[in-house]
Amino acid sequence: MRGASRKRVLVTGGAGFLGSHLCRRLLEQGHDVLCVDNLYTGTRENIIDLMSNPWFEFLRHDVTFPLYVEADEIYNLACPASPIHYQFDPVQTTKTSVHGAINMLGLAKRVKAKILQASTSEVYGDPELHPQKENYWGHVNTVGPRACYDEGKRCAETLFFDYWRQYRLKIKVVRIFNTYGPFMHPADGRVVSNFITQALRGEPITIYGDGSQTRSFCYVSDMVDAFLRTMETGDEFTGPVNLGNPREFTIRELADRVLELTGSRSEIVEKPLPQDDPTQRCPDINLAQSVLGWSPKVELQQGLRETIAWFDGRT
């Protein structure tokens, strides 16, 4: 018999970077975890150590198709999240966000589950407000090369709130800002994984633009903690809520940190800035602090050390 506190938790995108960390934390808490992933960007390697756990189950499935399972809680993380991957098949990316949201919301409605949507800071586009607050509607190019991801996530948020208004579904929406840590895909094209792999290989560190654009970097353990705290809030709290580290760094500062920590002699080279790449990205986390009692704890230096140690030997 399942313990009174043991829940059946479905994690879509569970073999991905964030999903695999979330699955581990849920298992540590004593829950029964169903990991669903089509392995487009997720990998079996990310969850291989979990396969022998009797409370863990892996199902290869694409969320653009309906799923008929039982669950008490659903974390909907399924969607390629790096430009290299989501721009490779933009139509499928939009389908994953939109059809995936419809299918998971339909499942949550049927089984009366609480459901969390992993949205993104990309809903703000190239923001004209800094730092970004949840009531900011964004500055998004609807027809640009990043729109498949940006608009797909925006539409998913719309669906979540319509299900909440129309069916009183128990929803949570989190907007994830730049997150990094072990189990990142080495070839995902994101700035942290790019810089680390290039430095470890002794290749030039590629900066797009002059490196003055800013990002805020949240370590993965902090982000997973925020997911869990959000899911534990009462039904009256739906979000959206920004989750990220409010401390800003320029891209060039990040490159210098990586070079210092790896001891690499790689040179820094500049390339043209991609279209619609935001110049500033930083969350206002006042809502997360007040409602969740959450703030990131891991400093960039410590997080980079742990991430570099994981990448070393895999690069």
Residues catalogued as catalytic: 149
What's the longest Cα–Cα distance across the chain?
A: 59
In order of 91, 101, 119, 242, 262, the CA distances from 202 in angstroms are 36, 41, 35, 36, 10
Write out the two tokens for 167: 């069916």
Nearest-angstrom CA–CA distance, 141 and 192 = 25
Q: Identify which of 247, 211, 245, 207 has the alpha carbon closest to the alpha carbon of residue 225.
A: 245
H/E element, 36: strand 32-37
In order of 16, 118, 278, the CA distances from 82 in angstroms are 12, 14, 14
Nearest-angstrom CA–CA distance, 277 and 297 = 28
